[in-house]
Structure 1
Amino acid sequence: MAAPTLDKFEMTAALSDLTGWLIQQGLENTPINAWLETMCHRINEAGIPISRVNLSTRAHHPEIGAVAFRWHRDQESEQFEYSRTSNTDDVVEEYRRSPLYHLMTSPVSEIRQRLDVPDPELDFPIFEELREQGATDYYAAKRFFLHKNQKRPSDPFALEEGMTISMTTDAPGGFTEAQLDGLRALLAPISLTLKSGANRKMAEDITAAYLGADASRRVLSGDIMRGSSETISAVIWYFDLRGFTSLSETLGAEAIIGLLNDYFALAVEVVERYGGNVLKFMGDGMLAIFDLTDIPEARLKAVEAACALREAFAEINAAREKEGLPTTGFTLGLHAGDVLYGNIGGKTRLDFTVIGPAVNTTARILGMSGPVGQDIVISSKVALPVKDQRPDLVSLGQYRLRGVTERQELFTVD
């Protein structure tokens, strides 16, 4: 639908209303794709005929470096995620040949190129594609969130906090100067709205990456006072890499980090696939829980996850051996009981974790893997309630564990 024709006063008033609305979206933490869609329609209603908008910003995520949101007037909107490490050469080369790369690396805050002129000053492969779609004008701007100098050249792959935005029109003759001034006036509120949402997303992504999804949700909801905790019933999942000490003495630092990342990534994926929550890494170990209240059949899920981990380790070890990389195994202890779940630590450094006798017992059960010769050792509090569903659970006998009052019957999965 074509943009209505408004005089300059009407357009300014509509854009002023849009500015206030954008700020409110930031306060309400409206998802970027939602407010971008409405914003683009309102820009058209204000008399600025845009047909395509691309908004890109940095992501604070261990795997994702940047995200882009693309709105089309006559098509479905799109969202793209760009990996920090695994982008193909074609993706990188396409970006290097784009107007946004030129914008970021040049001492300018914006670029504008008419697409309906015979000898354009700027030309990029994307411009031909836009011309085929009927575009007549292209405008793009960059905004840094932490610097005042918006003209400063920047390394596009350094992923500074900020945004790039491009807008095209298919109106005959392109954008008018008044329309460009209107778009420039929106850059600050767009940046503020984007930064507000990005900061919240950053908090969610970073806390989830370092604390785990459940602890992240609790911390961001305000559960941050030192000593605050609650008692929950859970299956405790204590995982350890086998023979890590000897490996660390023979392998170089990069090989050790690569090994840890490969095996931890596998363990985390398995735990989360079965509904568990990874709480922390401790050297070559990992602590996770399966909440007995929140997860249906948490005991069964924990046992299934243990079996899945065994299969996954066999697969990754075969792949690493084929590549000539060092391999290792694992040991795993499972126990169930009540634990204190919450904030523990000093005034300026807290840990969101679980503590209690059940956690200590799980550590002792893990330590029994060597004496009983099994990679997976499970307490009767996990095994017995699911024995009918898992006939492959085999008793290893009763044992007295150091620091644990009652003798424990231990099981493994055959």
Structure 2
Amino acid sequence: MAAPASEDFKMTAALADLTNWLIQQGLENTAVETWLNECCFRLVDAGIPLLRVNMTVRAHHPEIGTVAFRWHREDGNEKLSYQRGQSAPDDYLRSPIYYLVTHPIAELRQKLDVVDPEREFPIYDDLRAQGATEYFATKRFFLRTDHSAASNPMRTEEGMIISLSTDAPGGFTDAQLDGMRALLPSLCLTLKCGANRLMAEDITAAYLGRDASRRVLSGDIMRGSSETLSAVIWYFDLQGFTKLSETLPGTAIIELLNDYFAEAVDVVEKNGGNVLKFMGDGMLAIFDLNAVDDAGRVAVEAAAELRDTFDEINKRREADEMPTTGFTLALHAGDVHYGNIGGKTRLDFTVIGPAVNTTARILGMCSAVDQTIVISSAVAAPLSDSRKDLVSLGQYRMRGVTDRQELFTLD
């Protein structure tokens, strides 16, 4: 039965107001979770009896393939991230979303309270258990107008997939779905604003590091702009990499680098450090003294953790008959200049200064003193009373460093 004309007029007016409101949320860069919650309740008030809404967009992240924002009238909001993989998980392959993506259709609509539905998917049973009476899904591409085209499900295009469920008797009316279709352009635009911001955050964090990403996105992009930080500098590289690169195929070298770097980055970041760059088989990171409490102690504890982590990696790789390696690590503390350095159109957000140069020289001492971890007195001395495993290696004069340096290692 069609809705009365007065109800249709009320819904149309409410959706027009909602369109303007959605555009404003996009302009203000409101978090998707925030505006989605209010948007869905506004739709309910406008006469569209939503039970559940799910919106999925592509992610630009090295580990995450797609992100879903889900709203439920009773349970509120949640954000779900789906890992990248070589194959699709089974529950996705058996979903209406997969069917929608891989077939030349723009929409999928199914009554859930009929005896013999045209198509059946496992999620329909879950929705029926929640009292749902109808499911509707549609896809909208951002960069093309042919929304009915089929897509490669493992190479998600820029766009949005939205699914709606209702528990209203008889499901959605045609007028209600027409109202939702009219709202889709503004909904897509607002979601795209949020997705683009998320994309920028993910990409810059992946290539610059979390702290540098935050600074760049907040406008700190002028060439030469910098600030002075007091930090513990972490200079790390893999042992015997030149020999490995000469004897292993390129794919094996990349796999080895990714395996070891993944753990090294995890150790640094979970202890509050910031990874700034990779240099072949090396990695530069800092622990900001103003951002990490007792940064010297934390950096030394992270170094000890890295040593244990490498032991575990090597045991696993040896069991799989894969090549293994070790590492060398230098820790030093001092003031660094942290900011943008480079050409007019290609910049690097990094640290420079005498303390960085000294750390590089200390790293070069690892082979001379036959130690994996070498720590300067600037880091070790304040910890000498509490960490009895810090052992002095003596004083050394290093090329390009004015003062003699007492070096330490972890026993």
- TM-score, normalising length: structure 1: 0.95
Whether 2:120 is the aligned partner of 1:158: answer: no
Q: Which residue number corresponds to residue 197 of structure 2?
A: 200
| Large movers: runs of 4+ above 3 Å | none
Between 64-73 and 350-359, the greater mean CA deviation after superposition: 64-73
Tell me which of 240, 246, 249 is aligned to 1:249. 246
Cα distance in 2 for residues equivalent to 1:116 and 1:209:
46
Q: Which residue number corresponds to residue 53 of structure 2?
A: 53
Cα distance in 1 for residues equivalent to 2:132 and 2:395:
77
Give unpaired runs (5+ residues) of structure 2: none
Q: Which residue number corresponds to residue 146 of structure 1?
A: 143
Whether 2:310 is the aligned partner of 1:316: answer: no
Does the 8 A contact of 2:232 with 2:331 survive in 1? yes
Q: Which residue number corresponds to residue 240 of structure 1?
A: 237
Which amino acid is the alignment partner of residue 385 of structure 1?
P
Q: Which residue number corresponds to residue 73 of structure 1?
A: 73
Q: 1:86 to 1:382 in 2, by over 3 A?
A: farther
Cα distance in 2 for residues equivalent to 1:5 and 1:402:
86
Does the 8 A contact of 1:5 with 1:47 survive in 2? no
Q: CA deviation at 1:133?
A: 2.8
Q: 1:241 to 1:17 in 2, by over 3 A?
A: same
Q: Which residue number corresponds to residue 134 of structure 1?
A: 131
Cα distance in 1 for residues equivalent to 2:75 and 2:380:
54
Q: Which residue number corresponds to residue 95 of structure 1?
A: 92
Whether 2:5 is the aligned partner of 1:8: answer: no
Cα distance in 2 for residues equivalent to 1:5 and 1:77:
33
The SS at the match of 1:77 is strand
The SS at the match of 1:80 is strand
The SS at the match of 2:348 is strand
Cα distance in 1 for residues equivalent to 2:224 and 2:28:
30
- TM-score, normalising length: structure 2: 0.96
Q: CA deviation at 1:86?
A: 7.7
Q: CA deviation at 1:166?
A: 0.7
Cα distance in 2 for residues equivalent to 1:391 and 1:197:
50
Q: Which residue number corresponds to residue 405 of structure 1?
A: 402
Whether 2:32 is the aligned partner of 1:32: answer: yes
Cα distance in 1 for residues equivalent to 2:90 and 2:18:
36
1:280-314: CA deviations, max 9, x gaps?
00000000011122222111111111111111111
Cα distance in 1 for residues equivalent to 2:5 and 2:31:
30
Which amino acid is the alignment partner of residue 24 of structure 1?
Q
Cα distance in 1 for residues equivalent to 2:402 and 2:371:
23
Q: CA deviation at 1:258?
A: 1.0
Q: Which residue number corresponds to residue 361 of structure 1?
A: 358
Q: CA deviation at 1:159?
A: 1.5
The SS at the match of 1:293 is coil
Cα distance in 2 for residues equivalent to 1:229 and 1:77:
39
The SS at the match of 2:203 is helix
Q: CA deviation at 1:214?
A: 0.8
1:44-91: CA deviations, max 9, x gaps?
10011111111111111110101112222223433321100287xxx7
Q: Matches of residues 250-329 of structure 1 in structure 2 within 5 Å?
A: 250-329=247-326
Which amino acid is the alignment partner of residue 12 of structure 2?
T
Q: 1:122 to 1:232 in 2, by over 3 A?
A: same
1:148-186: CA deviations, max 9, x gaps?
211111112111111100111121222111111101011
Does the 8 A contact of 1:6 with 1:46 survive in 2? no
The SS at the match of 2:409 is strand
- Percent identity, aligned pairs only? 69
Between 115-124 and 102-111, the greater mean CA deviation after superposition: 115-124
Give unpaired runs (5+ residues) of structure 1: none
Cα distance in 2 for residues equivalent to 1:116 and 1:295:
57
Whether 2:221 is the aligned partner of 1:224: answer: yes
Q: Which residue number corresponds to residue 382 of structure 1?
A: 379
